[in-house]
Structure 1
Amino acid sequence: MRFFKIILLISVIFIGSCSSERNTFTNRAFHNLTSHYNAYYLSDVKIKEVVTEVQTNYKEDYTQVLPVFFPIDSATIQANKEKLESARDLASKAIEWHRISKWVDDSYYLIGKIDYLQGQFDDAQNAFKYVNVNSKDKDLRHQALIALLRLYVDLEEVENANFTIDYLSKESDIKDENRYELYRTLAYYYEKRADQNGVIGALDRTIEYAKDPKEKSRINFILAQRYQREGLDALAYDFYQKAQEGNPPYERSFYSQLFAQQVAELNASKDLKKVRNYYESLYKDPKNRDLKDVIVYEQALFEEKQGDIPLTIDLLHQAAKEPGSNERLKGYIYEKLADIHLDEFRDYRATKYYLDSALTYIPEGSPAAVQIASQKETLDQFVFHVERIQSNDSLLVLSELSEEDQRVIAEQFIQSEEERLIAEAKAQEEPESSGIFDNLLAFADRGSGSSTFYFDNGVAMQQGAIDFYRTWGDRPLQDNWRRRAVVFDNSESETLEDEESGEEVEEESNPLNQLPSIEDLLAQIPSTEEDISTLNQELEESYFELGKLLYFDLSEAENSIENLEVLVREYPQSSRKPEAYYLLYLAQKDQNGNSQQYVSRLNREYPESQYTYFVNNPDAASGNLAYIESSKRYEEAYNLYYSGKFQQAGQLIKSTLEDYPLTRNTERLLLLDIMVTGKLESKARYRERLESYIENSEEGALKELARNMLIPLLSSEELAALNPVDSAAVESDSTNVAENDSTEISNPLPDSPFQLNDSQTHIVVLVMSPDEAKEAQGVVGDLEVFHAKNFSNARLRTGEMNMDRENAIFIISPFTDGEKAKTYFEKFLTDFESDKISDQIKNNSFFISIENFQVLNRTKNIEEYRAFFKVAYQ
């Protein structure tokens, strides 16, 4: 009876302690125990499992600098959705069921981590902020702040990140585990900002607090990579050696040894044979079977440093064929081949095709892929026009021959292709190692590569296939017994399908299927005047577009001249001829050639052309060089200021003002220098300089900006005495929009004298009255600043001319096609600012093709073109 009473008493105490409302010692002990080792513990384990899986699934690319944090793969997170939701449910129970336990805030922190992994950044931010504000556990608050810092870095919220860093830097008693995460997150912060020194400094501190040997090895490897890229080989060598400690994965250990040898011995060694033997030994090591492409690639880079470009190219080709565990490396190999063919040989065609190959291996959307795709745009156009010129030229030459001669050439082409296929098969024959037992095999010479057994000899098989084709034609691989077997098969339809699919595979693998028939080749030769005319039109377009590409995008003035000369010589009636003359004028001028001949031709043949105006007024197109240079430096200083590099910004401003003391940028540079003062010096000095600027400046808009900057520094009495800003001069955009919308389209597109041709060169036109044109003289400078900031590589020019007594125009040119003109025009409407022209002039501007401008220059009917412009482009 006493025993049952004791059990009953314990049960009552236990049941009473389950209450989350009673804050007694027994209740707290119970809830601390159960929330920690049940809900919280299990939730934490599940989260760690998901994080581990993210790291395991990520394929490290050791040829590139490793990221500080493993990227979070959304596919892995989605695959673990149930596990994360289970972890969230457990953490929520720890909060709801055990409200008086000391693990409630820790559970909120876990929920924040789950939200972060699932990309719910707002919820994660709220959870971390809640923990930081409410938790009494200093270590947990530090954890939450560090997690919050990483989130700010992800979201590129620099100011919040800087505030968090500043706050944590003033905190004391941060335990080692949190310091490790803090310095690692700081390294991530500097990595995002491309601050190499910052990353190295933060990772150096991270190493001091790292406890996991494998993670320590990884950080050492990152430091080694970064030191190597900084040219600090001795430091890089030490860290590569340290990266081999802690039982790292074999691949990291391999790269550590390879790169350590590079920085310590290979780069400095004058014994080339020793270096090559080193790579050879790595290549032969069975453990490196899946890393052969890496070894050959690194040897290629070494040979490139020795200046042996042919050997480098051979090794890169070999590396592309070797087996490997990292697909991306193939992309880097092809990218390297593209770089060599561009830099060494200026072979744009080969460069384009190598970049195409690179993109098949580098993941779409990655920075490398985006850069390659951008680089390839111009090369795609170049190759298209080059190949079209070659093809059309050949077809036009063939069209002038007799049918007998055409057939002979077609036969010779097919024969040469057959020989090429045989040569390729022979090149692919890899002789196996011959040994003393080879003569015991059923077929002699099997290991020699010149086998007498037909199916062991690829060259013989290729030759046999060609002989069969010559005798029997394109006959399917099928014979009598196979057809008879089909008749007795119960599953007749399935068997036939299998046979047909098998024959398709055999047909696809037959190299002769790559060859066209003679009839196919002859059918491509133009036989009518219409076909010949189409080919000539395409040639005319390609010569012109190729000339533009070579001059504007590839800076190949000499080759540009060759193609444009062909255009004006072979197609003297071309509508592109005036622009071709203008491009030839520019190219010859760049080459210090005879540019004046094209000035004469334009004045003689096209006196009313816009291009004639440009060559007669070269200064209007070139602009103020000092102003352009100071504009570039202003933009650079501005970017330095807003990236927090105030000291560097101040130095650049000072040197710019010394080199270019009197330009239209001077006032802006001075104001930017005052903003730097506000960051580096006292408020009193900042205020003093602002007041002086307001008193002395003549630029109204900049003076108003300075006044607004001064307001936060004024007292309430000073603010009260301040006159309100007169805003009556500010025009409403809505009025201009209404005016534009009221324009009626008097002529529909089909009846218009203008024609839509996006492939032509276009210009942007600002129309104004002669009086407005006089007041707008400074707009050219504002346009040059706008161009330097937004279209620095476009070689844009600005000019002015009178169209008639009522209309003067400012012209921005050239744009190689309508799409580029439209891109500029949209940017111009939204971002261009100038007090030299009204909003109405800006909003009534338009862009126009050269042919249409010539029509407009004759008709002088601007409203008619505006109607066309609205239909065609808007």
Structure 2
Amino acid sequence: MSRYYRNYPFLSLFTVFILLTGGLVSCSQYSTKPISKGYHNLTAHYNAYVIARDEIKEAELILFKTRQENYTQLLPILFPVDSMLSMPVKPQLDDAIKKASLIPERHQNSKWLDNAYNLIGKARLLKQDLPNAIEVFKYVNTKGTNEDDKHEALVGLMRAYTEASDYTNALNVADYLRTQPLNKNNTRDFYLTKAYLHERKGEYATAAGILDATFPVLKKGESTARLHLIAGQLYDLIGQPNKAIAHYRKVLKSSPSYDQSFYANLYAIQSNGLTGDAKRLAQSAETFDDMLNDRKNVDLKDKIYYTMGLLEARNGKIDRAIKFYSQSIQAAGSNTTQVPYTYLEIGKLYFEKKADYPKAKVYYDSALALIPQQSPAYASISARKKTLDEFVQYQTTIRTDDSLLHLAQMNPAELDKQLDKIISQKEKEDKAQAALAQQIVERASGANFNSIPGATNSNLQPNERWVLYNPIALSQGKQEFSTRWGNRPLEDDWRRSNKEPSDAIAGANSPLNGNTPANDINPNPPLQQQDASNATGTSASSPRKAQKDAMYAKIPFSKEAQAQANQRIENALYKLGKLYKFQLDQPADAIPTFEQLLTRYPNTLQKPEIYYLLHLSNEQLGKSSTWKEKLLAEFPNTSYARLTGRTAVQSTDSEAKALATYKEIYDLYKANNVTEALARADNALGSMAGTQLEDKLALLRIVLIGKGQNLDAYRQSLNEFVRDYPASPLLPHVKEMLTAANQPTANRK
């Protein structure tokens, strides 16, 4: 036989060709034969799957090592996907998708098909391509053949929904996975993803409990140390410091990075302050000294001082806490990550403990200027800052207009002396600021400005710092500029004297130096008037006289200007009292504010509401008062009087009686007996409180007021309905009526 093939070699080659062709045909990716499946399994695994898997692991490792942790805030259990942060590893992720895609393209009968789709979904998830990641994971769950791979896809799907903030669908997937027999890896990933989901939702107790169940399946290492740190943070947030301390200690036993061990020690000290353990607190003081003296912590001193301030605040030592917080800001240097949160803590102390709202506003301004907008605290800081802005505005209006009215009563000689005194004080302050600026310039001369400690605020005391490197001073400066000059456009000659009078605002340190709006009219006697033609010359020849003339222009000498000033004070007292009562929840401060308003302006139109708010404020403090009786005696037919006697439930007899009363009033209305119908409606509203017809009678009363009284009374009654009946089905119709009434050409029928 061998001799036969030697004689005919072309037959041997032909046989080999036939065998190879048959083998390749049998290796089709759609074939179910063992040889075909074995070939495609081998090729798909080593030529595609392993390469894609390793590239994704490398990308995840790079993202982990280059992460930027903000230890001042609760750390995320899983790193939130971010397309910008993933840019450095985008080539690896793109190549991983390309390699994994070879399997569904060329190896359909391979057992690695589901794994390849899971890798594609994971890579797209890391790139923040959430819609496509979700579709891939859904496909695996629907078409997959291996249960473990399908479970892995569902864990990825839950993660993708969480990143998309679609918590409802994420929880639905989690509920299904809870009933499935998961392998070890899928159990670990499921627990971590579910804990992350609950952390994102703010359900910290649930997240901490799930993390506790996860640690037994985790290996020691930096990633596990990080999770112990997060578990400690979660337990701190739910008020369980002892459990938090236990996790902080486990951080140190899990091969942590230096930053992780440093913050674990700091957080443990903070938690010790919550336990009230005197021995632990004494040890904390020694620990702080060691940390501050450790050269490795030179760039972390701001965190140490911050923690020291936090402990003092928890122990009720507010002034010491503010001192340490201030040291934290000074020690921050160029690393300002901690600074906005330190400003926030100081602002909270002034707001909640000292009730010093003007100072609190300054620190909230600074915190809001520096804190990232995506921070969870941003919205609450912004809301509180708005409240503080209003508070300072009302207080400034009251103080400024009071001072201006006082100056208007002085005799000319005394007033002239007072103005000279104010100008001299301002000049003194300006010289001090100029000297400080010169001092900083001299320190900077001959050296790199950024290397001068004073220039970058690293060593100078707060009152010595250059204003452009002091966020608090910057905030104050912006506020003073806005108060004095208003919202000025960027233009030349913005401070010229021929600007509209309403744009001129007084200064910050006195009513004549920038704190009160100018009057809409010029009430000054001719002595204080200045011809526009020689204004420039006068200012140039006598700057002091020009300043004094500008101050004179702001004093309300005329009766009309004084009436306007009093109206501003009345409105500011009214709004300030409501701010104390509702936004600041300080009824003890609201009461004297409202009482001052009633004393100074006994004929105020807001008297019924003020009586009612005084009644509520005293009731909130557990004090007895006569404000309810005064309200019922003086203003029995107002909505505020009805609010004091409103009951929640009425009997069937009351409902029947209410229906009869309503019908009688409505009949009077149809008979065009407006006066009688309105009087009956006013008297009946109190007795109909809590019935189903109360809001209907209130609306009928509005219609009667519209027919028998002026437009202002009609608008007021509409506003009262909107306030008093927020759940009424009639509310949309009343709002339409109010909109029509507020039109310039409102025509009531």
TM range (shorter): 0.5 to 0.7
Residue pair 1:342, 1:351 contacting (<8 A) in 2 also:
yes
Q: Deviations over 1:514-562 (max 9, x none)?
A: x997545752441574766654443333222212222333343453344
- Asked if the contact 1:28–1:101 (Cα under 8 Å) also holds between the matched residues in 2, the reply is yes
- Distance in 1 (alpha carbons) for counterparts of 2:19 and 2:334: 63
**1:746-791, CA deviations, whole angstroms, 9 ceiling, x for partnerless residues?**
xxxxxxxxxxxxxxxxxxx9x99999999995348999xxxxxxxx
What SS class does the counterpart of residue 844 from structure 1 fall into? helix
Distance verdict in 2 for CA 1:417–1:131, change over 3 Å = same
Residue 613 (structure 1) aligned to one of 630, 633, 638: 638
Q: Is 1:623 aligned to residue 647 of structure 2?
A: yes
Name 1:142's counterpart in structure 2: 151
Q: Residue type of the partner of 2:568?
A: E
CA distance in 1, matches of 2:335, 2:716: 41
User: Which residue matches 1:469?
Assistant: none
**Which residue does 1:102 correspond to in 2?**
111
Aligned to 2:490: none
Q: Give yes or no for the alignment of 1:44 onto 2:53.
A: yes
Say whether the 8 Å CA contact 1:426–1:459 is kept in structure 2.
Answer: no
| CA displacement, residues 397-440 of structure 1 (integer Å, 9 cap, x when unaligned) | 445554742541233322442576499799999x9xxxxxxxxx
Quote the offset at 1:289 in angstroms. 1.4
State the superposition RMSD in angstroms. 5.1
Q: CA deviation at 1:238?
A: 3.8
Partner of residue 741, structure 2:
868
How far, CA to CA, are the matches of 1:780 and 1:328 in structure 2? 58
Q: Does structure 2 retain, via aligned residues, the 8 Å contact 1:88–1:111?
A: yes
Residue 396 (structure 1) shift:
3.9
Q: What's 1:338 paired with?
A: 347
Q: Which amino acid aligns with 1:778?
A: T
- Which residue number corresponds to residue 778 of structure 1? 691
Letter of the 2:403 counterpart:
S
Deviations 1:50-93 (A, max 9, x none): 44454445432334433221122232246665654444333333
Q: Do the aligned partners of 1:54 and 1:72 also contact (CA within 8 Å) in 2?
A: no
- Counterpart in 2 of 1:88? 97
Equivalent residue number for residue 251 of structure 1: 259
Whether the aligned pair in 1 keeps the contact of 2:329 and 2:339 (CA below 8 Å) is: yes
Residue 54 of structure 1 contacts residue 73 of structure 1 at CA under 8 Å; is this kept in 2? no
Match of 1:315 in 2: 324
Give the deviation of 1:612 after TM superposition.
5.2
Cα 1:547–1:246, aligned 2, differ >3 Å: closer, same or farther? closer
Letter in 2 for 1:595: W
Question: Are 1:302 and 2:311 matched, yes or no?
Answer: yes
Q: Which moved more, 1:541-550 or 1:195-204?
A: 195-204
Distance 1:331 1:267 in 2: 28
Matched to 1:28, the amino acid is K
Q: Displacement of 1:23 after TM fit?
A: 4.7
Question: Is 1:28 matched with 2:37?
Answer: yes
Distance in 2 (alpha carbons) for counterparts of 1:771 and 1:232:
55
3-state SS, counterpart of residue 311 of structure 2: helix
- Which residue of 2 is the match for residue 277 of structure 1? 286
Deviations 1:657-697 (A, max 9, x none): xxxxx999xxxxxxxxxxxxxxxxxxxxxxxxxxxxxxxxx
Q: Distance in 2 between matches of 1:824 and 1:48?
A: 59
Larger mean Cα displacement after TM superposition, 178-187 or 554-563:
554-563
**What is the rounded CA distance, in whole Å, between the counterparts of 1:333 and 1:382 in structure 2?**
23
* Counterpart pick for 2:247 among 239, 247, 258: 239
User: For the Cα contact (< 8 Å) 1:224–1:239, is it kept in 2?
Assistant: yes
Q: CA deviation at 1:287?
A: 0.5
Match of 1:845 in 2: 734
Residue in structure 2 matched with residue 746 of structure 1 by the alignment: none
Q: Is 2:429 the counterpart of 1:417?
A: yes
1:566-715 paired onto structure 2 within 5 Å: 566-571=596-601, 575-576=605-606, 579-580=609-610, 583-584=613-614, 587=617, 591-595=623-627, 598-599=630-631, 603=634, 613-614=638-639, 616-617=641-642, 619-620=644-645, 622-624=646-648
3-state SS of 2:84 partner: helix
Going from structure 1 to structure 2, the CA distance change for 1:294 and 1:803 (only over 3 Å counts) comes to closer
Distance 1:808 1:599 in 2: 26
Read off the aligned partner of 2:219 and give its amino acid letter.
Answer: K
- CA distances 1:726-753 after superposition (whole Å, capped 9, x unpaired): xxxxxxxxxxxxxxxxxxxxxxxxxxxx
2:136 is the alignment partner of 1:127: yes
1:229 CA drift (Å): 4.9
Picking from 394, 416, 421, the partner of 2:403 is 394
2:576 maps to which of 531, 546, 560:
546
Cα distance in 2 between the residues matched to 1:461 and 1:230: 40
Q: 1:318 to 1:226 in 2, by over 3 A?
A: same
Q: Distance in 1 between matches of 2:325 and 2:439?
A: 18
Matching residue's letter, 2:217: Y
Task: Give the one of 221, 229, 244 matched to 1:221.
Answer: 229
CA contact (8 A) 2:82 2:126 kept: no
Which letter does structure 2 place at the counterpart of 1:104? L
Aligned to 1:523: 550
C-alpha separation between the residues in 2 aligned to 1:383 and 1:417? 23
Partner of residue 378, structure 2: 369
Identity in percent: 27
- What residue is the counterpart of 1:208 in the other structure? 216
Q: Is residue 296–residue 319 contact of structure 1 (8 Å, CA) maintained in 2?
A: yes
- Measure how far apart 1:187 and its partner are: 1.9
Over residues 793-824 of structure 1, what are the superposed CA-to-partner deviations in whole Å (9 max), with x where a residue is unaligned?
Answer: xxxxx979846879999xxxxxx999999997
Asked whether the equivalents of residues 17 and 30 of structure 1 are also in contact (C-alpha less than 8 Å), the reply is: no
Distance 1:820 1:141, change over 3 A: farther
Post-superposition Cα deviations, 1:468-516, rounded to whole Å, max 9, x if no partner, equal xxxxxxxxxxxxxxxxxxxxxxxxxxxxxxxxxxxxxxxxxxxxxxx99
Return the alpha-carbon distance in structure 1 between the equivalents of residues 246 and 604 of structure 2: 67
Confirm or deny: 8 A CA contact 1:291 1:324 kept in the other structure: no
Give the match for residue 649 of structure 1: none
For normalisation by structure 1, the TM-score amounts to 0.58
Change (3 A) 1:520 1:20: farther
CA drift of 1:143 comes to 0.7
The alpha-carbon deviation at position 286 of structure 1 amounts to 1.0
Where does residue 408 of structure 1 map in the other structure?
420
Contact preservation (8 Å) 2:394, 2:575? yes
- Residue 627 of structure 2 aligns with an amino acid whose one-letter code is S
Q: Quick check: 1:221–1:240 contact (8 Å CA) kept in 2? A: yes
Whether the aligned pair in 2 keeps the contact of 1:599 and 1:612 (CA below 8 Å) is no
Measured after TM superposition, the shift of residue 104 of structure 1 is 2.1
Tell me, yes or no, if the aligned pair for 1:39 and 1:90 is still in contact at 8 Å. yes
How big is the shift at 1:277?
A: 3.0
Report the alpha carbon displacement of residue 300 of structure 1 after superposing the two structures with TM. Answer: 1.5
| Contact persistence 2:301–2:328 (CA under 8 A) | yes
Unaligned segments of structure 1, at least 5 residues: 432-448, 450-455, 463-514, 628-661, 665-764, 784-797, 810-815, 834-838, 848-862
Q: Which amino acid aligns with 2:647?
A: G
- Shift in Å, 1:224: 3.0
1:71 lines up with 2:80 in the alignment: yes
Match of 1:349 in 2: 358
Q: What SS is found at the alignment partner of 2:278?
A: coil
Once residues 699 and 721 of structure 2 are traced to their aligned partners in structure 1, the CA distance between those partners, rounded to angstroms, is 21
